[in-house]
Homo-oligomer: A and B are copies of this chain.
Amino acid sequence: MSKNLPDMSQVTLEHISLRRMPNQERSRARVEHMLNCAIQLIAEKGSEAMTMSEVARLADVSIGSLYQYFPDKSAIIRALAEHYGAECLRCIKDGLSGAETLDALCDALNELIDVYYALFQAEPVIRDIYSGIGADKTLRDMEIAESRKSGALLSEALCRVAPDCDPERAATDCFLIMHFGEAAMRLAISVEPDEGAKLVDTYKRMAVSELHRAGTER
């Protein structure tokens, strides 16, 4: 149940796209520091209320330096989304890799949903970014790409343990299952904790039931 959560607290520039990539070590460290300061501010007051000047001030960096690496405010959010997204994907890959039977895969999905939910509860920045999606089109597309990738991982695992199932249909099913996972997390953290837990449980039942059906149906 309560497995050790992945640690995503320290941002590195791996997986992150910038307006200009720093060449020197000094600037590399500065950019990472900017992002970590942004994380702190988002955790404190939310990405909506966070201002660029605040990030610059907290990072002890001029506003111009900030804009050297991030073309606009949402670029910071996007950079963080890339970071967290990559970590989540790694997590999902790990979780699914061991399953050799359909039942084992269903169990793995079950556990992954728990981890995911715990992550949403533990990381205010993930909560903020995923809640605040819709702010710009790019972020929405990133979330969709994320479900697509995690769906592909699940679908791949499914076809491995259930070779008879139609790959294309499995892909669509798994894409939707994963996308609904994100919707369920967003919903669960927006309501009272009791109801949130019940909704996550319900989602787990549905997800596993659909995965099982996708792997059984011919």
Is A160 close to B, CB under 8 A?
no
Q: Contact mask A161-187 → B, CB, 8 Å, 1/0? A: 000000000001101100110111001
Is A191 close to B, CB under 8 A?
yes
Q: When chains A and B are docked, how far (Å) is the Cα of A202 from the Cα of B175?
A: 10
With a CB–CB cut-off of 8 A, which chain B residues contact A190? 140-141, 144
Q: When chains A and B are docked, how far (Å) is the Cα of A184 from the Cα of B172?
A: 12
**Interface-side segment among A19-27, A30-38, A58-66, A129-137:** A129-137
Contact status B203-A176, CB under 8 Å: yes
A49 → B minimal CB distance (Å): 11
Beyond A140-B190, A144-B190, A213-B209, is A199–B175 a contact (Cβ under 8 Å)?
yes
Is A210 close to B, CB under 8 A?
yes
Is A93 close to B, CB under 8 A?
no
Contact status A176-B191, CB under 8 Å: no
Q: When chains A and B are docked, how far (Å) is the Cα of A48 from the Cα of B138?
A: 13
Contact status A176-B172, CB under 8 Å: no
Q: When chains A and B are docked, how far (Å) is the Cα of A37 from the Cα of B52?
A: 33
Contact status B172-A183, CB under 8 Å: no
With a CB–CB cut-off of 8 A, which chain B residues contact A5? none
Q: When chains A and B are docked, how far (Å) is the Cα of A65 from the Cα of B184?
A: 40
A213 → B minimal CB distance (Å): 7
With a CB–CB cut-off of 8 A, which chain B residues contact A176? 184, 187, 199, 202-203, 206
Is A198 close to B, CB under 8 A?
yes
Residue of B nearest to A206 (CB): B210
Which residues of A from 181 to 218 have beta carbons under 8 Å from B? 182-184, 187, 190-191, 198-199, 202-203, 206, 209-210, 213
Q: When chains A and B are docked, how far (Å) is the Cα of A187 from the Cα of B187?
A: 16
A103 → B minimal CB distance (Å): 19
Which residues of A come within 8 Å of B, CB atoms? 48, 131-136, 140-141, 144, 147, 172-173, 175-176, 179-180, 182-184, 187, 190-191, 198-199, 202-203, 206, 209-210, 213
9 A-B pairs within 8 Å (CB atoms) are namely: A48-B136, A134-B135, A144-B191, A172-B198, A176-B187, A179-B183, A179-B187, A180-B183, A206-B206
